[in-house]
Each structure stands twice: as C-alpha cells, then as structure tokens.
C-alpha cells in the first residue's frame, strides 16, 4: 500500500510517497519533492498548477491514504489566506479521487515521529531518515516534512485511525 504526505504551499508544495513493505513494521521511501509555482503568475494559474500536480501524484500509483498538514498562521494574513486556498485545492483534488484524507497538525506530526510535540526540524529529519532507512533527508524542507506526513498517514491507517 502507498501513503502520500503533502505539505501544502502556495509557492512551494512538498510531497512525500512511501509504501508499506512486506515486513510489517517498516515503511519504505518511494519519492519526495516539491511543486513550485512562479510568483509572477496570476492566482488562478498557480492554484491550477497545484491541482494538476496533485492529480498527477495521485495517478502514479494507488494511494491508500494521504495526510495533509493543518495550517496555522499568526503573522501574515495575506500569505495565510493564499496557503489556505492552496490547501483547499489539494483537499478537493483528494476528494475527487476518493483518497482518504488525514489532517495532521504540526505538533501531532512531531509527536508521532519523535515522541515529542515540540521537536525541532533537525530532530524530525533525523527520525524520518531513520524510520525510512535513508542516509540523509531529501531537500528542501518541504519534501522532508511531506515524508513525515506520509509516515503519519501510514501510522494512522496501520492503527485503523483515519481521523
């Protein structure tokens, strides 16, 4: 079974794809990367790129479930609104493809991966690499975060908890 994680973004969306291995206790790395939209494009075109690229990710293989990070913003309302619009496009695309959605807060992801809800980026990346048997984390950080979300998707479904 394949599990997808998406770190939503308006300018850059991270994605991570893992699969359950025959050995019941360990996921395996498949792919990770980012989808970028050019800042000079109109908002409609940028959202369309996010929708098309998300749909392409879902076509590649049969995705069992997808975790999308919940969004929290405190400072820049304009950036936050654009991020929420991108997240909405991602969620709608998942819905249209009948892919179960798992929403995960950053704190929940940190706790699931490291056991500590306030873990820093370095701690998170070390644990993600360890879980997936990687010698180093994929770059940029958005792709690494998406892999963490994919692992959370796998853990939640493994424990029959899609919510």
| CA 92/CA 84 separation, integer angstroms | 12
Supply the CATH number for residue 7's domain: 3.30.420.10
Annotated active-site residue in 28, 69, 141, 145: 69
Domain that holds residue 45: 2-158
What is the domain count for the chain? 1
Taking the CB of residue 128, how many other CB atoms lie within 10 A of it?
Answer: 27
* Digit-coded pLDDT (tens) for 95-131: 999 999 999 999 999 999 999 999 998 999 999 999 9
* Digit-coded pLDDT (tens) for 29-60: 999 999 999 999 999 999 999 999 999 999 87
Which residue is it, tokens 């819905």?
A: 95
Active site residue 7: yes
Annotated active-site residue in 7, 51, 56, 141: 7
Written as one string, the DSSP assignment of 55-66 is HHHHHHS-EEEE
Residue 163 falls within a domain, yes or no?
Answer: no
Active site residue 145: no
Q: Sort residue 42 into left (φ over 0), alpha (ψ -120 to 50) or beta.
A: beta
| CA 67/CA 105 separation, integer angstroms | 10
Annotated active-site residue in 103, 141, 142, 145: 142
pTM of the model: 0.92
Active site residue 36: no
Residue 32 falls within a domain, yes or no?
Answer: yes
């Amino acid at each position: 079974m394949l599990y997808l994680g998406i770190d939503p973004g308006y300018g850059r969306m991270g994605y991570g794809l893992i699969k359950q291995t025959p050995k019941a206790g360990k996921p395996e790395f498949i792919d990770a990367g980012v989808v970028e939209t050019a800042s000079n494009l109109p908002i409609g075109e940028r959202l369309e790129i996010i929708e098309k690229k998300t749909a392409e990710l879902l076509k590649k293989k049969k995705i069992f479930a997808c975790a999308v990070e919940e969004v929290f913003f405190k400072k820049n309302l304009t950036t936050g609104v654009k991020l929420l619009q991108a997240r909405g496009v991602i969620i709608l695309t998942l819905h249209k493809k009948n892919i179960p959605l798992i929403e995960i807060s950053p704190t929940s992801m940190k706790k699931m991966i490291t056991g500590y809800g306030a873990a820093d980026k370095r701690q998170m990346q070390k644990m993600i690499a360890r879980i997936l048997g990687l010698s180093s984390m994929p770059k940029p950080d958005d792709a690494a975060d998406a892999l963490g979300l994919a692992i959370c998707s796998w853990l939640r479904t493994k424990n029959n908890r899609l919510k």
